[in-house]
Structure 1
Amino acid sequence: MVQEQAYKIQSQMAAKQGKSTEEMKFTASTGWLYKFMKRTGTKNIAVTGEAASADYRAAKKMRNKRKEMVEEMNYSPQQVWNCDETGLYWKRMPKRTYIMKNEEKAPGLKVGKQRLTVLLMTNAAGIERLKPLLIHHSARPPAFKNVFVSKLPVIWHHTRKHG
């Protein structure tokens, strides 16, 4: 992210000077980033320390069991479907940030909990995808004042207990 910003600043400076970015001969390489962080006294830290854990052994067993079942029942890839849900937090802060070296931790901020739940589904062949299911706490958010939710590229549902 810092490297991308450095390139943007370089482009703006080149434009002001009437030069091309190639003429400025600037590369925001990994080495440049390391030296920049050392020079400015910044470091990269994790804002939240709790990582999600998964039972990899159980997942591997289930994968093998599913494979056996598909072969035994003679299912085609078009008949095997995968479904997954995820939360989309649009106001959540990033999990990592840059701070000065003399600081021990990032300033405490309340984690944003406004989210949408999205359910995605496709078959094993990758040919068919169902329209995503989106669950929000509001039946009609103010931002959708003049929008027909039935016309959205998702199936819209709402629930008060969401979030």
Structure 2
Amino acid sequence: MLQNAAHSKDRDSRSSSTSKLLVLDPRAPGWQELLIGAGPATMVLVLDQAQDGLAELAEVAAGLAPLASITLCGPADPGWLRLGSALLDGPALAAHRLMLAAIGQCLEPDGFLQLDGAAGQGLAGQRLLVSLAAATGREVFGQEALEGEQPLLPLSPWPVVQRGR
């Protein structure tokens, strides 16, 4: 289900401002708060748990391109993220490299991906972020490291930056 986070009368028309896509798997902790907090330039895709969320993302992103950013939020642990029935981890990234490259092409030249939650944390998370950046050809950011955990790369609000080109 795709929703525009804006509550204005021009819901069906895209504004001239850059848009963002927030992808939510309803099994992720806090997904409803993210939905409520999405800004007016953010389109929200709520995934069907029984469907391949990566395929849903690719289809929706192609229809909304060019996007400034795509944020992925689903059940996760360091090194993996679930989107619907799809599991994003090292082996899955290799198997879906063409679809991931197409998703990367839906982003503006300076567009990026963000992973919400634990997927980008720790050494396994760093590997996932680097692999996802390589597969999409875009920068990929992970959420802040767990409190007390020593980051492997310098921190910013979305700390891990890798260019996959």
**TM-score of Structure 1 vs Structure 2, range by shorter chain:** under 0.3
Q: How high is the TM-score relative to the length of structure 1?
A: 0.25
Give the structure with higher Rg (CA). Answer: 1
